[in-house]
Amino acid sequence: MDDQRYLYVSETDNSTVWRYEIGDKNGTLVAGGNGTGDGLNQLNTPYYIFVDQQQAVYVSDNSNHRIVKWNKGATT
């Protein structure tokens, strides 16, 4: 959970990261969502998530052996 009380969830099987507000039933896609792969807008087995004070989202993209960053407001 970040400072804004958003909960971030990595969905490793679908290569996506979702953000939920308290009470949300449907999250907001914040990373991935373009199929599994190694493109700049793709993930492959995302595991760990870190959100900094500017709400940039960092994701450990396990199978691609990299860390990817999405700035606040970026589109996937």
pLDDT tens for each residue of 14-53 = 999 999 998 888 999 999 999 999 998 999 999 999 999 9
Pick from 62, 57, 58: nearest CA to 73: 57
Give the span between the Cα atoms of 21 and 28, in whole angstroms.
9
The model's pTM: 0.87
Q: How far is CA 69 from CA 12, 23, 34, 61, 74, in A?
A: 17, 26, 16, 10, 10
* pLDDT number for residue 47: 95
CATH number among 3.20.20.60, 2.40.10.500, 1.20.1430.10, 3.90.1150.10, domain 7-70: 2.40.10.500
Matching residue, tokens 């507000």: 21
Judge residue 4's burial from the number of C-beta atoms within 10 Å of its C-beta, 0-12 exposed, 13-18 middle, 19 or more buried.
exposed
Q: Where are the domains of the chain?
A: 7-70
